Structure 1
């Protein structure tokens, strides 16, 4: 198969894709804002154009605004700032409904042929197509403003693919529909999270109460210190010989730390130190992140472990603790200790009501998790799709 023919394409197209310099397909946009009152935008990697008022709370362009570039709808800008998502900077299409002002340190450009698809090239650029070329032209010398040192002349000499215009539009329509479905899933997840947040506010303020199975009211809630509900201890060190990065038949017990990633999963051990149903709460880094634990595990690095000493549903208290504001005063590295967390006061409903609330919130969490898995699967599918659809 020719290197200029994609692996996956619509059957009605057979022509090889051309390869051209960026400057043969696009032309620089250097129109200045001047005295016009155009809203100022920046580029955020992974999002695209974001109003400076939204991003920073105000317009930060100041007196430089007149020198900013006036960017029309369906025109592009390359942000030379590197990020975790775009190591060599990123290009985005102005998909707002208006002409906007963008920093003149961006390289702004537009299609020479208006019949070509700007959306096709937006998808191409978002898929890191320019990375290989950018890596070769970025100067090793650093700029004082922290931006990548990219020569505009060499930028417009970067090679890009050029399918026929009808094929561009067909691909653009298809990929837009893929993105719309992905955005719909993200919106669904966001709405579920908002619903849970609102439900918790009403449940924990007792504005909304469950009834007992016989229809009668549950008893009034008590207030207790966490130290009265839980035995609280902190994780310690673990011998390296007992640690594995992967789960095996021997190394099958999770090791949990204070990390936010993967609910604190650090690795696996051939032994455990906690066997009770309990909670872990981060005592280092971002303080106070609670997770209910139901399996045997090994806590490390001062991770707090809360083991019920009176009837307490750990899922209920996971949600309660995650609502707390741990304002810890410290002259050094912020930390949450066993004595500190023990003194925090929380609600204590009857155990049966705790269970009802926990089951309700868990059902919402299950829905959120399922949608999250759909989003991850869709993103992986899209990634594989783009690799096959672009040469």
Structure 2
């Protein structure tokens, strides 16, 4: 079914993204960056900085339709493949920790890349993986796998359909990244620096922003409840796992929560105490009925500042660096910010009218980014379903 090619052993330090005569397929890029198909003309495929080290592999330069398998990873991603397309402008070699293969019969362009990443084929590889902390594959394991292929015409139709989905996914990913870059730029320009003035402002606003402490404009919510006393009552729990999973509260019984919770009855901003670099800032605009939050968060309420605006301030790099510098703990992953240190943080605040305008801009951006994210997740589910049902 396949012939094995030789691979290079260059390290990442011997690659660049600017210029060169040869290109290089790095196993880390297969695992994290490349899709089922890799067009080697793409800027994401690095050049070789030391060409003299790959010239000897001339007979093993990759061709259209060759497949490169990542043979090492720390999880079940090992065995992920990418099919090579358009290697002509720059002769391309396969790198360290990869198994490059060449099919001995003709397949439709893209078919093998999709097929070998589909569950049916990858499950075959998974049973043949070796290792505990680091999983690996051998050529002998690849030889034991089976590939079932339809007619060439059907292969082409399958590849075209999945390519169309991949193209749509790429389009939404790029739109999302553009919006994220725009938001990042606006966060730097629309918020005041030490001078008290932002670089970009809405027309009609020119006053200096007022410097204050967070505790001057916010107060922590302190009302609490022991949910164990209400074991059969239903609560909406705002917790760190819920934030990470969907940013929607978990609906749970009181008996499931083993410690005291803070009661949330009004709009608030939840600031995560642990590992602040991850920016787990949760703006609860309309709390659910019987809402509570876990001790992982410091809940803040304000009658004087717009929480939509403050939500963006709390996610800024300046604010995050302050939280990092004032966190304490035995290791970086376990460092925490205390409520006292949080309330002492300094920030610049404009008038409430300007706050609301800035808040609306970023709220709209966040909503659009979330929309693209939802579309991406749906498209990926559609593709995953097709890969499960169209290959045997």
Query: Counterpart in 2 of 1:327?
Result: 324
Matches for 1:249-260 after TM superposition, within 5 Å = 250-257=233-240, 260=244
Farther off after superposition, 183-192 or 326-335: 326-335
Checking the alignment, whether the CA contact within 8 Å between 1:237 and 1:301 is kept in structure 2 is: no
The alignment partner of 1:347 has SS state of strand
Q: CA deviation at 1:389?
A: 2.0
Matches for 1:89-108 after TM superposition, within 5 Å = 89-95=79-85, 97=87, 98-108=90-100
Q: CA deviation at 1:100?
A: 2.6
Provide Cα deviations, 1:253-307, integer angstroms capped at 9, x if missing partner: 2332376443384553559612121101111134443221121531223411111
CA–CA distance in structure 1, aligned partners of residues 312 and 21 of structure 2? 47
CA–CA distance in structure 2, aligned partners of residues 233 and 337 of structure 1? 14
Provide Cα deviations, 1:148-207, integer angstroms capped at 9, x if missing partner: 2x3423421311112111221222122212211121111111112222222332221422
The alignment partner of 1:327 has SS state of helix
Checking the alignment, whether the CA contact within 8 Å between 2:62 and 2:84 is kept in structure 1 is: yes
Matches for 1:1-391 after TM superposition, within 5 Å = 24=1, 26-30=2-6, 38-43=22-27, 44-48=30-34, 70-84=61-75, 86-95=76-85, 97=87, 98-113=90-105, 115-139=106-130, 146-148=134-136, 150-205=137-192, 206-211=198-203, 216-217=204-205, 219-232=207-220, 239=227, 250-257=233-240, 260-263=244-247, 265=249, 268=252, 273-287=263-277, 288-294=279-285, 295-296=287-288, 297-308=291-302, 310-323=303-316, 324=319, 325=321, 326-328=323-325, 330-332=328-330, 333-391=334-392
Which consecutive unaligned segments of at least 5 residues does structure 2 have? 11-19, 193-197, 255-260
Q: CA deviation at 1:88?
A: 4.7
CA–CA distance in structure 1, aligned partners of residues 7 and 219 of structure 2? 67
Q: CA deviation at 1:81?
A: 2.0
The alignment partner of 1:197 has SS state of helix
Distance 1:154 1:320, change over 3 A: closer
Q: CA deviation at 1:60?
A: 11
Provide Cα deviations, 1:29-61, integer angstroms capped at 9, x if missing partner: 127689x9744431232533899xx99x99899
CA–CA distance in structure 2, aligned partners of residues 102 and 272 of structure 1? 55
Count of aligned pairs: 347
CA–CA distance in structure 1, aligned partners of residues 339 and 268 of structure 2? 15
The alignment partner of 1:130 has SS state of helix
CA–CA distance in structure 1, aligned partners of residues 146 and 223 of structure 2? 54
Provide Cα deviations, 1:93-122, integer angstroms capped at 9, x if missing partner: 234643333335422101223x42241110
CA–CA distance in structure 2, aligned partners of residues 237 and 66 of structure 1? 70
Checking the alignment, whether the CA contact within 8 Å between 2:22 and 2:47 is kept in structure 1 is: no
The alignment partner of 1:132 has SS state of helix
The alignment partner of 1:129 has SS state of helix
CA–CA distance in structure 2, aligned partners of residues 116 and 313 of structure 1? 59
CA–CA distance in structure 1, aligned partners of residues 351 and 177 of structure 2? 31
Q: CA deviation at 1:385?
A: 2.4
Q: CA RMSD in A?
A: 3.7
Farther off after superposition, 168-177 or 317-326: 168-177
CA–CA distance in structure 1, aligned partners of residues 280 and 346 of structure 2? 17
Checking the alignment, whether the CA contact within 8 Å between 1:80 and 1:88 is kept in structure 2 is: yes
Provide Cα deviations, 1:72-95, integer angstroms capped at 9, x if missing partner: 4431121122455x4452122234
Q: Normalization by structure 1: what TM-score?
A: 0.75
CA–CA distance in structure 2, aligned partners of residues 106 and 243 of structure 1? 54
Distance 1:240 1:126, change over 3 A: farther
Which consecutive unaligned segments of at least 5 residues does structure 1 have? 1-23, 245-249
In terms of fraction of residues, the more helix-rich structure is: 2
Checking the alignment, whether the CA contact within 8 Å between 1:225 and 1:343 is kept in structure 2 is: yes
